[in-house]
A and B are shown apart, each in its own frame.
Chain A
Amino acid sequence: MRRWKYVPAAIAAAWLIAGCERRIVDEESENAPTASLDGGSAKTVAHSGGSVADQVAKERGLTPDDVVAALKTYMPSGKLDEYMMFASGGHSGQVFAIGVPSMRLIRTIAVFTPEPWQGYGFGTGEEVLKDGDVNGIPNRWADTHHPALSETDANYDGQYLFIGDKSNSRVAVIDLRDYETKQIVKNPVAISDHGGCFVTPNTEYVVEGGQYGTPRGWKYAAIEDYQKEYRGYVTFWKFERSKGRIDPSQSFALELPPYWQDLFDCGKLESDGWCFGNSINTEMATGGVEQGKPPFEAGVSQNDNDYLHIINWKKAAEVFKAGKVEKLNDFAVISLQTLIDEGVLYFAPEPKSPHGVDVTPKGEYIVVGGKLDPHVSIYSIARIKQAIADKKWKPDKFGVPVLDYDAVKEAQVELGLGPLHTVYDDKGYAYTSLFLDSAVARWTLGGAYQSLHSEPAWTLVKKTNVQYNIGHVCAAEGDTNTPDGKYFVALNKWSIDRFLHPGPLYPQNLQLLDISQPGEKMQVLYDMPLGVGEPHYAQMIKADKLKPWTIYPEVGWDPHKQAVDPEAPQAGKEGITRDGNKVTIRMTANRSHFTPEHVKIKQGDHVVWRITNTERTEDATHGFTLPGYNVNLSLEPGEAAKIEFDAVNPGVYPWYCSEFCSALHLEMIGYLLIEPTSPAAFDSESAKPVAKLDK
């Protein structure tokens, strides 16, 4: 049987030898040896196996490159992907876990938005979602932007994932043991954000960079007072790894000029302790096109330069610990003046309205994507530190030291139109998205990376077209201190003609590229439509770094506390107890029955319903669907859940298991019998739909 594994490779080799017009040297050298392992020369295999592949390829009109792309991405049933990519779910408020190279969607993770399959927001999960309320108003969606995997020593450790919500400046914590959202924190000072989330090298802090300038403390201030009253913020959320939670009481924000801070990134190794962010509106344009003023899009783009924000976060943490903070909405904020006085904040000019800021793997350089400028500008942390030591600066309007550009600049590389985001590989190349060119630029790093490639430093090597309007980019472990290379994903905003048209709302196109070969070869391998939301950033981690649970560790597990709930019903200890009008139901679920199966209560009772899935078998998930009361739970093996509601409407409600758990799945039901307390209340004409979940 072992020889069969070589058949795809053999077919590829056959193709390359028999039918290639364009000879692909790299592919041939890679596949030929495996073909010869099959017991004969590549040519004999071509003779026997090539004809079928030849025919299929001919029928489907596939080029040799297509066949190679298929072979590099096809995942036979039962084989597992090498990488897991976590992509933001855009306005779906979710996160997508996608296998690479197959580009198969493996799981959506409900984060800011209720999601019934996971039972998130339909009986359970409300305690997490509620913390995302904004000033008492439930915001049950999000514009998720930048996922950040937790790091240890500037490398993904596979334990936690953070995701920021641009629309309401919120950050969520996902535990990668069960891929469930454990916490949402609402930023008390920033209204919207963009630069979240990015983590410090040991996940001491989760950094959330703000975006649009707003008046301090959610107050009202006239737009005419923009410079005086409006501010931007970058927030450092303290992450308590042992608890798996952000601790807002140990977190703080930095008050920044209202320059519309954009993306951020944290330094590592040589630049450890520093954090870098961009800004796009040093003009402090306030729009007002209807009053004859320049519209934002033009007003924000007037100056030749905006400012790279250079933040000494370790010093900021000391300032916070020393108590040199103000309280804004009960949240610690280090004032702009303190930042200047304590030497926490510096600026450096950057080409106007830039976008991404991405630190190189060893932390020596900071790469800024020009967006409206065709260059990437590279800064050196060594030069930055020197310029600070030499005091080579001039203050800006707020007194923040602006470092001399020539003193901190390492290089500039002209790449093309609309350079946005940059990731790295293991061969000393950087990859930058070119939005306007709809292309990916591969270019060379200098310094310590020079020896990894054969091209001159700081030069463009190759541009590969992608379809279309590329935004973020993601490479295998591409923003750690040890990038893997191999795979690269272009997150394209437009797909235009790449997929069957599903009406006027088109999916995004996540395009997989092979970046394993040096030089000019960068092949597009696969187009993945994502018709759920608009992913922004994504991170790709080696799958074997993830250690997810297959089932919950013990029966009666509370996923919110990640511990056994002592109150969780256990097999043999089910029952219904009444205390006044409070009825507590203790139920277990196991294939293919709930215990108990009859729950008889009275209208007006307050119901506390605890259910444990007592299964210990992988994938033996049960659902709990209760009609009439907006309940749908996902009870994964071992999981315990608790729901509470008032039985306001009488009647008989058949609850059932909503997961196809077994052959007798349909029979896995029970009846909730709610006796009417007065005959009138049972009159469906007068009964008002007032059912409301407490929790």
Chain B
Amino acid sequence: MSNAVDNIFGPRVPMDEFRAHRGRYLLPSVLLALAGSILVASLFLPYWKMTLHAPQYPKGLHVYATLTGISGDVNEIDGLNHYIGMRPLREAAQFEKANAVMLIGAVATLLLAAMLIHNRWAALLALPTVLFPLGFLLDLQYWLATFGTNLDPKAALSSSIKPFIPPVLGVGTIGQFKTVAVASDGLWLAAAASFVALVALWFHRRAYKPLVDAQSAARGRVSEVPHVMA
């Protein structure tokens, strides 16, 4: 194996060492696989839920956002939104929704790939998983802001409802509606995947750092070729 490949994939575990400390080397891989599975599972659950409360809706209106689409009382909310000139909710985040399955697949694949990387590069591969929940919320906030601030000025109620930015989480008010936005099961799963990935990285470092250190020490003796990452 060339040094360049070695630098990317990190050191391999000697068979004797692996047999002696099986748990130490398997644990990070298991955790990474777990994090990936949790993330994939989150695809099937709503990430975000907003409830709108108003006197004439005693049961409230509910809208659920999954990574691939929105559901719930979307028609009714769109119907109400047309009075203030807001675009239909389904028009939001069309690129994200269309590519969500591919995106999750890619993020999870990178995470699984990290199982093969035995140095710091593994952290880079896990980074999308770790940051995924935050990314979701930022994207959602972007769309809420875009929709709330781009109201049709010719709409029926445009004179009484000014452009607004609904909070991505928490309580807001618009007209006679009180809106309550909360994270839903999918986002909690994504957060769990993020946490598990971080834990996996900690165990990854515990398992492979000594090997990397040993390798670089050995290399230091053989040549002065600097290595970037170890």
Q: CB within 8 Å of B: which residues of A?
A: 590-592, 614-617, 663-664, 667
Contacts and interface: CB of A to CB of B under 8 A. Distances in A.
B79 A591 contact: yes
Interface in B164-211: none
A616 B76 contact: yes
A616 B76 CA distance: 7
User: Which secondary structure dominates where chain A touches chain B?
Assistant: loop
Contact of A664 (B73, B75, B76, B156): B156
B142 interface: no
B136 interface: no
A419 B223 CA distance: 118
A619 to B, nearest CB: 8
Interface in B34-85: 73, 75-76, 79, 83
Interface of B: 73, 75-76, 79, 83, 156
A616 B83 contact: no
Contacts of A615: 76, 79
A591 B75 CA distance: 11
Contacts of A617: 73, 76, 79
B75 A616 contact: yes
A667 B82 CA distance: 14
Nearest to B61: A617
Given A590-B79, A616-B75, A667-B156, 12 more contacts: A591-B79, A592-B83, A592-B156, A614-B75, A615-B79, A616-B73, A616-B76, A617-B73, A617-B76, A617-B79, A663-B83, A664-B156
Contacts of B75: 614, 616
Contacts of B83: 592, 663-664
B123 to A, nearest CB: 48
Contacts of B79: 590-591, 615, 617
12 contacts: A590-B79, A592-B83, A592-B156, A614-B75, A616-B73, A616-B75, A617-B76, A617-B79, A663-B83, A664-B83, A664-B156, A667-B156
Contacts of B76: 615-617
A591 B76 CA distance: 10
B87 to A, nearest CB: 15
Contacts of A592: 83, 156
6 closest cross-chain pairs (CB), A and B: A617-B76, A616-B75, A664-B156, A591-B79, A590-B79, A616-B76
A615 B73 CA distance: 11
A614 B83 CA distance: 16
A159 B79 CA distance: 33
Nearest to B75: A616
Q: Which of B73, B79, B156 has the most CB of A within 10 A?
A: B79
A664 B156 CA distance: 8
Contacts of A616: 73, 75-76
A616 B80 CA distance: 12
Nearest to B59: A618
A617 B83 CA distance: 16
A307 to B, nearest CB: 57
A590 B73 CA distance: 15
Contacts of A664: 83, 156
A247 B83 CA distance: 49
B74 to A, nearest CB: 9
Contacts of A667: 156
A572 to B, nearest CB: 11
Nearest to A614: B75
A202 B79 CA distance: 44
Nearest to A667: B156
B73 to A, nearest CB: 8
A590 B75 CA distance: 11
Contacts of A663: 83
A667 B83 CA distance: 12
A667 B157 CA distance: 13
Q: Which of A614, A615, A617, A663 has the most CB of B within 10 A?
A: A617
A499 B157 CA distance: 47
B98 to A, nearest CB: 21
Contacts of A614: 75
Nearest to A591: B79
Nearest to A78: B58
B176 to A, nearest CB: 10
A667 B155 CA distance: 13
A557 to B, nearest CB: 15
B154 to A, nearest CB: 13
A354 B27 CA distance: 90
Nearest to B74: A616
A144 to B, nearest CB: 35
Nearest to A593: B82
